């Protein structure tokens, strides 16, 4: 492994982005972009091989002083929480570039922004310094804003601004909370630090962080992450953003950007949760159940295929929230937490196929309104097969990764939150099957509508990227241990302080 | 030395391979590459038979390996599983062979055989799973394949819609199944069992072992939820709505769904989990009533149907009810009941596959499903008529056919159940349904094959590739029962002996106050008859209703007709209308509940989301958006501006922090 692998992983797409901006033709732009995104993929695969699954420490760590006077460091590293998401980001970035191979509107900027986006998410999932973390967190907003604002649909301005302001407000609240952490805690030598792990660990010390103060800080952080997820009732920016965003933007948004919220839950929220007021546990659990069930019902009501997929994201991300909050008080092996982490990874893959399907239909047929579609399987058999596979994966069909994640979350959550779990199973799971099947059936099956007789099957690059994802979804559905083995130690590590508190009788 | 047992995984592996080969190569091969599926299934039969010779009767084949987290994958082949494996591979081989002829010329033939191969694989995987989660995974895969196959002619809106209905209705059951697994897992995890290496929480042997330790109230919930899953899959009341509609696929698909795969999965689940149902208070009570009522209820609807496949579909639902009822009587007769239920399952799979394939042959020849347009078909399709007669006799429970032996024993245990527990209703349901079954079966047979042609249909017999499977099945429908009955009861009734399940202990947990007769409770001799003395009339009653039903049909519908139906039942007869409308079950469950209540709720949610959740947000952000409007003028979409702004923002941040430090925050 080369040294500073993570830095290279972030730097290559950044340099790539700059190069792509300077290219003149689409052929150059997409080729440079592809190469620049393949490098991080190769690096992350190599890290996957070398990853020490038994270690509780951060791995591949790089740490340099950056602004020593205020305690800002350039610290990067991964553990079982961050690494699966790094892998996800590098995979999805390559596939989304392949999927967009035919983009002809300002291709150099388009591919450049996709690369810039990869820079941001990789930074978020690897940064171990709050300052750095926040910078990457904000960087992500910019490419997405432009992807929606330039390549978006008819109401792109409204959607772009709403997306930007909504998530930006949330980020600012989170930033205030980070500052509060920063200014409250002093290191033994009197200096201050932005080091994430140090600050988070310090919150368990009530002498430094009295519960009343910590409650406020915690609420700020939580708000920042829940908006990003997004969790009900902070989810309304998502459908608007998705409906207007170009396909690649939607894919990246759903597959990677939402995962930043879930990552925040694991990395930041969970370790602090035992030290704050218990009412937060209830609040988060309610939000989780609401997201899953209400999100599923919302999806069922949608007329636009893409909006349906957008709401399905809300519903599926609810499992992440549920699994993480339900781990409190659970016994090893922390199934619900591992399930939540796995759901992040799995949903990241599956949602790609769903948004790509919606995008391909839009390109080929010219509409996404479900009622206007019908019988497309007749003219687009290959595409229909892949779309069907994606929707089945999303509805939780066993053998595919989504089922594993949901099963782990539900089984794990039942131990500590039986009522919430049962509401989810009976209120959410059947409805989820309902809207997925209803949509696929209406769109793909039945007699082909006359106006679609001339429709052709999807482009080869679209089919290629979709099939690659389906293969991965199957691979991780049949062999989840590939990822859960990485997560297991991290889950234990994450829960260790909590367990100690539990033994002390604090929770 | 390698043995068949070493290749147990190939029972599922080969059909999966066939699926992959067919899907990629089938388009270029004759018959859509269907022989891959046929051969793979037949190889599964050979392997299963080989394993049978190796392990039977004393041993159980168990292979297991770690999967992920606390879960495993594994193979468990005991007499119960073996019976299913042999039946599924045998019947499916015949059905696939038949399909080589039946599906010939369909442009989707390769897709058909690919999906059929996967369907077979899923069912076999379900049967030999060593843990309940893996069983559930294959269970869902079975559901998926049935969805694909029912909707095989997806251009037909009715087929696409029937497929969706099947998937969603069974999904309701699956949700309960999933809930049952979740609760069971947690109940077992909280016991802190000392698991030996290679033992995992959800494995059947481990489940059986820990039943006595789990809270009985909890067990009842789990059992009822499992039953919910079985009700969905096996088309029991009230989730039976999907099964009669599942006729939209090719007839071979119906034969697979109704006989060998899919619907038998629910009964198998209850049989597999029998110790749990036994240990759960009210568990088996629910099973016996659901089964008994379904047997009766579905039979009534069979009386009026005109679609030949639909008559058979109702009979399937009804016969599945018998199987459930049989297992439910286990509360009194012990694990012997599993043998009784499973024997009917196997017997049924022979004659129901036969009946469907015959119906397919008729439809293939005549070109319609509607019996009113047939008549006199027997003249032109001798072999089909004769083989269907064999199937019909078995279904009607005509003495000495396979169906007679299996159904008779169910009525015997139901009688015993009634006399000890004083719950007589299941037995009454069983007897009445038996009469109706014989009647509607022969109504169908006479209307289709006897009399004069009522429409201008093609008059030719089906090809041999279709007829030979019919003949083989006919032999089994007639003769299998006489030779295998007692051996089967011994083997399957004793199945749980292999795991040391102590039914006496579980009877205490389950609160079965009734004393077991000699040879019951897992001891597994030929239970039943010795415990309760049956009066002569009860002994011959099954024969009377079986033969009586056939005679009635003969009087009403054959060429020797003596009675006219129209004299007794008018066109506008309210009961006939109710039956034709299938008790408005579709209207209540699908139209009202799914489309009005659930969809209505989702529309309301959507309104709330737009008007309230987003509405409040918009109000809050009006001010902000006004501000944003100004912002937009400054930032005209030039990327550099934004990057500058970000850099600027970071600088401001750093300065702010510096100031904060100076001030000493």
Number of helical H runs and strand E runs in chain B: 28, 2
- Cβ-Cβ contacts under 8 Å between A and B: the total is 164
Chain B residues touching residue A377 (CB < 8 angstroms): 154
pTM of the entire structure?
Answer: 0.89
Pick the closest to residue A138 from A228, A12, A239 (CA basis): A228
Residue A335 lies in a domain: yes
B634 and chain A: CB distance < 8 Å anywhere? Answer: no
B157 and chain A: CB distance < 8 Å anywhere? Answer: yes
**What are the angstrom distances between the C-alpha of B240 and each of A404, B165, B425?**
29, 11, 21
Residue B18 has what pLDDT? 92
Q: Is B265 exposed, middle or buried (0-12, 13-18, 19+ CB in 10 A)?
A: buried
Q: Tens digit of pLDDT for each residue in B410-443? A: 988 898 888 888 888 889 899 899 888 988 898 8
Chain B residues touching residue A480 (CB < 8 angstroms): 67-69
Residue B422 has which token pair? 């004083």
Tens of pLDDT along chain A (507 residues)? 778 889 999 999 999 999 998 888 888 889 999 999 999 999 999 999 998 888 888 889 999 988 888 889 999 999 889 999 999 999 999 999 999 998 888 888 899 999 999 999 999 999 999 999 999 999 898 889 889 888 988 888 888 887 887 788 888 889 989 998 998 888 888 888 899 988 988 888 888 888 888 998 999 999 999 999 888 888 888 888 888 899 999 999 999 999 999 999 999 999 898 888 888 888 888 889 989 998 999 998 888 999 999 999 999 999 999 999 988 877 777 889 999 999 999 999 999 999 999 999 998 888 888 888 888 888 888 999 999 999 999 999 998 999 999 999 999 999 888 888 998 999 888 889 889 988 988 898 888 888 888 888 888 899 999 999 999 999 999 999 999 888 888 888 888 766 665 555 544
Residue A327 has what pLDDT? 87
H/E stretch holding B75 reads strand B71-77
Which residue range(s) make up the domain with A366? 279-507
In this structure, are residues A295 and A232 in contact, taking their beta carbons and an 8 Å threshold? yes
Question: Number of folded domains in chain A?
Answer: 1
d(CA A186, CA A199): 9
The answer to whether B613 contacts A375, with C-beta atoms less than 8 Å apart, is no
Q: Which of B602, B623, B636, B646 should be substituted to probe chain A, the one whose Cβ sees the most A Cβ atoms within 10 Å?
A: B602
Residue A404 lies in a domain: yes
Whether the bond into B57 is cis, omega within 30 of 0: yes
Pick the closest to residue B143 from B261, B298, B16 (CA basis): B261
In this structure, chain A runs to a length of 507
Map tokens 């990246």 to a residue.
A252
Residue A375 lies in a domain: yes
Closest residue on chain A to B618 (Cα)? A162
Name residues whose C-beta falls within 8 Å of residue B515's C-beta, 6 or more positions apart in sequence.
Answer: none
Residue A355 lies in a domain: yes
**What are the angstrom distances between the C-alpha of B384 and each of A404, B258, B454, B477?**
47, 19, 19, 14
Query: What ipTM was predicted for this assembly?
Result: 0.91
Closest residue on chain A to B136 (Cα)? A398
Q: Is B493 exposed, middle or buried (0-12, 13-18, 19+ CB in 10 A)?
A: buried
In this structure, are residues B109 and B34 in contact, taking their beta carbons and an 8 Å threshold? yes
Pick the closest to residue A385 from A442, A435, A431, A445 (CA basis): A445
The answer to whether A236 contacts B613, with C-beta atoms less than 8 Å apart, is yes
A302 and chain B: CB distance < 8 Å anywhere? Answer: yes
Residue A29 lies in a domain: no
Instruction: Kindly report the nearest CA distance between residue A397 and chain B, in angstroms.
Output: 7
Q: What angle do CA B310, B315, B317 make, to 5 degrees?
A: 95
A404 and chain B: CB distance < 8 Å anywhere? Answer: yes
Chain A residues touching residue B182 (CB < 8 angstroms): 410-411, 414, 421, 425
Residue A477 lies in a domain: yes
Q: What is the DSSP string of A182-204?
A: HHH---TTS----BHHHHHHHTT
The answer to whether B182 contacts A414, with C-beta atoms less than 8 Å apart, is yes
The SS3 of residue B62 is: strand
Q: What is the DSSP string of A102-165?
A: T--SSHHHHHHHHHHHHHHHHHHHHB-BHHHHHHHHHHHHHHHHHHHHHH--TTHHHHHHHHHH
Q: Which of B182, B617, B663 should be substituted to probe chain A, the one whose Cβ sees the most A Cβ atoms within 10 Å?
A: B182
The answer to whether B646 contacts A139, with C-beta atoms less than 8 Å apart, is yes
Mean pLDDT of chain B: 82
In this structure, are residues B90 and B43 in contact, taking their beta carbons and an 8 Å threshold? no
d(CA B24, CA B111): 10
Residue A13 lies in a domain: no
Q: Tens digit of pLDDT for each residue in B286-308? A: 999 999 999 998 888 888 888 88
Q: Is A168 exposed, middle or buried (0-12, 13-18, 19+ CB in 10 A)?
A: middle
The answer to whether A433 contacts B598, with C-beta atoms less than 8 Å apart, is no
Closest residue on chain A to B162 (Cα)? A441
The answer to whether B175 contacts A429, with C-beta atoms less than 8 Å apart, is yes
Instruction: Kindly report the nearest CA distance between residue A336 and chain B, in angstroms.
Output: 11
The answer to whether B68 contacts A161, with C-beta atoms less than 8 Å apart, is no
Q: Tens digit of pLDDT for each residue in B447-497? A: 888 777 777 777 677 888 888 888 999 998 888 887 888 888 888 888 888
In terms of DSSP H, where are the helices of B494-573? 503-510, 536-557, 565-568
Residue A90 lies in a domain: no
Closest residue on chain A to B605 (Cα)? A298
d(CA B250, CA B362): 13
Instruction: Kindly report the nearest CA distance between residue B542 and chain A, in angstroms.
Output: 41
Q: Tens digit of pLDDT for each residue in B312-358? A: 889 999 999 999 999 999 888 888 899 999 999 999 999 899 998 88
B221 and chain A: CB distance < 8 Å anywhere? Answer: no
The answer to whether B154 contacts A338, with C-beta atoms less than 8 Å apart, is no
pLDDT reading at B638 higher than 70: no
d(CA B654, CA A194): 12
Chain A residues touching residue B597 (CB < 8 angstroms): none
DSSP A330: P
CA B514, distance to chain mean position in Å, is 31
A165 and chain B: CB distance < 8 Å anywhere? Answer: yes
d(CA B75, CA B42): 19
B 421-450 residues with CB < 8 A to A: none
Higher pLDDT, A270 or B530: A270
Residue B15 has what pLDDT? 92
């Amino acid at each position: 492994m080369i040294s500073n692998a993570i830095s290279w992983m972030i730097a290559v797409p950044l340099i790539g982005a700059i190069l792509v901006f300077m290219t003149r033709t689409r052929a150059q732009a997409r080729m440079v972009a592809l190469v620049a995104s393949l490098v991080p993929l190769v690096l992350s695969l190599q890290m996957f091989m070398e990853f020490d699954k038994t270690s509780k420490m951060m791995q591949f760590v790089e740490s340099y002083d950056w602004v020593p006077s205020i305690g800002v460091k350039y610290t990067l590293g991964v553990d079982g929480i961050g690494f699966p998401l790094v892998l996800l980001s590098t995979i999805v970035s390559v596939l989304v570039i392949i999927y967009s191979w035919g983009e002809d509107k300002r291709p150099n900027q388009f591919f450049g922004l996709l690369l810039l986006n990869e820079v941001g998410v990789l930074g978020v999932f690897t940064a171990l310094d709050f300052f750095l973390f926040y910078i990457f967190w904000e960087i992500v907003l910019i490419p997405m804003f432009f992807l929606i604002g330039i390549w978006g649909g008819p109401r792109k301005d409204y959607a772009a601004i709403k997306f930007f302001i909504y998530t930006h407000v949330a980020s600012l609240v989170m930033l205030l909370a980070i500052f509060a952490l920063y200014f409250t805690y002093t290191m033994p030598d009197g200096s201050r630090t932005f080091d994430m792990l140090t600050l988070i660990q310090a919150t368990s010390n009530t002498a430094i962080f009295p519960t009343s103060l910590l409650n406020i800080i915690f609420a700020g952080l939580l708000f920042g992450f829940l908006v990003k997820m997004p969790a009900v009732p902070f989810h309304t920016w998502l459908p608007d953003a998705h409906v207007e965003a170009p396909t690649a933007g939607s894919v990246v948004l759903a597959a990677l950007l939402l995962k930043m919220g879930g990552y925040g839950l694991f990395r930041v929220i969970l370790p602090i949760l035992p030290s704050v007021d218990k009412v937060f546990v209830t609040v988060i659990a309610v939000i989780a159940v609401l997201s899953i069930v209400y999100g599923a019902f919302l999806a069922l009501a949608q007329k636009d295929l893409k909006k349906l997929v957008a709401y399905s994201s809300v519903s599926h991300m609810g499992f992440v929230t549920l699994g993480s909050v339900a781990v409190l008080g659970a016994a090893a092996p922390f199934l619900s937490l591992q399930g939540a982490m796995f759901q992040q990874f799995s949903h990241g893959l599956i949602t790609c196929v769903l948004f790509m399907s919606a995008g391909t239909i839009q390109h080929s047929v010219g509409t996404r309104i479900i009622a206007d579609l019908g019988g497309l399987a007749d003219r687009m058999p290959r595409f229909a097969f892949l779309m069907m596979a994606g929707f089945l994966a999303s509805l939780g069909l066993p053998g595919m990764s989504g089922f594993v994640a949901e099963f782990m979350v539900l089984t794990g959550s039942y131990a500590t939150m039986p009522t919430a779990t049962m509401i989810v199973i009976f209120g959410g799971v059947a409805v989820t099957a309902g809207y997925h099947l209803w949509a696929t059936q209406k769109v793909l099956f039945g007699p082909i509508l006359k106006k679609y007789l001339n429709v052709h099957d999807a482009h080869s690059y679209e089919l290629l990227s979709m099939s690659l994802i389906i293969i991965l979804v199957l691979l991780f559905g049949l062999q989840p241990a590939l990822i859960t083995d990485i997560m297991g130690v991290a889950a234990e590590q994450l829960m260790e302080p909590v367990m100690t508190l539990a033994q002390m009788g604090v929770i | 030395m390698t043995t068949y047992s070493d290749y147990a995984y190939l029972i599922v592996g080969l059909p999966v391979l066939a699926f992959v080969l067919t899907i990629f190569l089938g388009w270029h091969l004759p018959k859509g590459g269907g022989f891959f599926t046929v051969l793979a299934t037949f190889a599964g039969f050979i392997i299963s038979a080989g394993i049978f010779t190796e392990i039977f009767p004393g041993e159980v084949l168990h292979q297991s390996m770690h999967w992920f987290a606390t879960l495993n994958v594994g193979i468990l082949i005991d007499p119960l599983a073996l019976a299913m494996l042999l039946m599924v591979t045998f019947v499916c081989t015949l059905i696939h062979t038949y399909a080589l002829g039946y599906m010939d010329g369909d442009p989707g033939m390769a897709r058909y055989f690919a999906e059929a191969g996967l369907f077979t694989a899923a069912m076999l995987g379900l049967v030999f799973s060593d843990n309940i989660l893996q069983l559930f995974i294959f269970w869902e895969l079975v559901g998926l394949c049935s969805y694909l196959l029912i909707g095989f002619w997806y251009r037909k809106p009715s087929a696409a819609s029937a497929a969706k209905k099947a998937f969603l209705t069974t999904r309701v059951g699956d949700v309960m199944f999933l809930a049952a697994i979740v609760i069971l897992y947690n109940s077992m995890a909280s016991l802190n069992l000392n698991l030996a290496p290679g033992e995992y929480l959800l494995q059947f042997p481990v489940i059986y072992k820990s039943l006595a330790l789990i809270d009985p109230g909890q067990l009842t919930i789990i059992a009822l939820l499992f039953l919910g899953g079985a009700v969905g899959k096996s088309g029991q009341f009230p989730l039976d709505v999907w099964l009669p509609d599942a006729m939209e696929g090719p007839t071979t698909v119906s034969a697979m769904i109704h006989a060998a795969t899919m619907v038998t999965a629910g009964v198998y689940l209850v049989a597999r989990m029998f110790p749990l149902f036994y240990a759960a208070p009210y568990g088996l009570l629910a099973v016996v009533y659901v089964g008994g009522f379904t047997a009766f209820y579905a039979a009534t609807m069979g009386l009026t149907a005109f679609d030949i496949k639909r008559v058979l579909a109702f009979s399937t639902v009804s016969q599945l009810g018998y199987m459930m009822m049989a297992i439910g009587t286990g509360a009194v007769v012990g694990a012997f009941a599993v043998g009784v239920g499973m024997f009917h399952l196997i017997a049924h799979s022979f004659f129901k596959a036969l009946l469907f394939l015959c119906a397919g042959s008729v439809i293939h020849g005549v070109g319609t499903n509607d019996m009113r347009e047939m008549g006199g078909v027997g003249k032109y399709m001798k072999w089909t008529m004769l083989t269907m007669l064999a199937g019909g006799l078995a279904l009607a429970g005509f003495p000495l056919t396979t169906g007679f032996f299996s159904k008779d024993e169910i009525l015997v245990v139901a009688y015993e159940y009634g006399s000890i527990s004083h719950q007589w209703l299941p037995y009454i349901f069983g007897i009445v349904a038996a009469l109706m079954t014989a009647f509607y079966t022969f109504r169908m047979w006479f209307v289709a094959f006897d009399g004069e042609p009522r429409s201008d249909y093609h008059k030719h017999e089906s090809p041999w590739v279709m007829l030979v499977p019919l003949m083989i099945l006919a032999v089994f429908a007639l003769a299998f029962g006489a030779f295998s009955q007692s051996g089967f009861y011994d083997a399957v009734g004793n199945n749980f002996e292999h795991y040391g399940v102590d039914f006496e202990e579980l009877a205490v947990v389950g609160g079965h106050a009734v004393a077991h007769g000699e040879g019951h409770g897992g001891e597994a001799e030929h239970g039943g008859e010795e415990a309760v003395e049956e009066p002569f009339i009860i002994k011959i009653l099954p024969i009377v209703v079986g033969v009586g039903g056939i005679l009635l049909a003969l009087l009403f519908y054959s060429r020797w007709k003596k009675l006219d139906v129209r004299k007794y039942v008018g066109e506008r007869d309210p009961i006939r209308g109710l039956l034709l409308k299938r008790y408005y079950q579709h209207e209540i469950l699908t139209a009202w509940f799914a489309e009005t209540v659930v969809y209505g709720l989702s529309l309301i949610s959507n309104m709330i989301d737009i008007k309230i959740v987003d509405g409040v947000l918009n109000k809050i952000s009006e001010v902000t958006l006004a501000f944003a409007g100004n912002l937009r003028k400054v930032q005209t979409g030039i990327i550099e501006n934004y990057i500058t702004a970000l850099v600027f923002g970071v600088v401001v941040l750093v300065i702010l922090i510096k100031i904060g430090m100076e001030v000493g925050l």
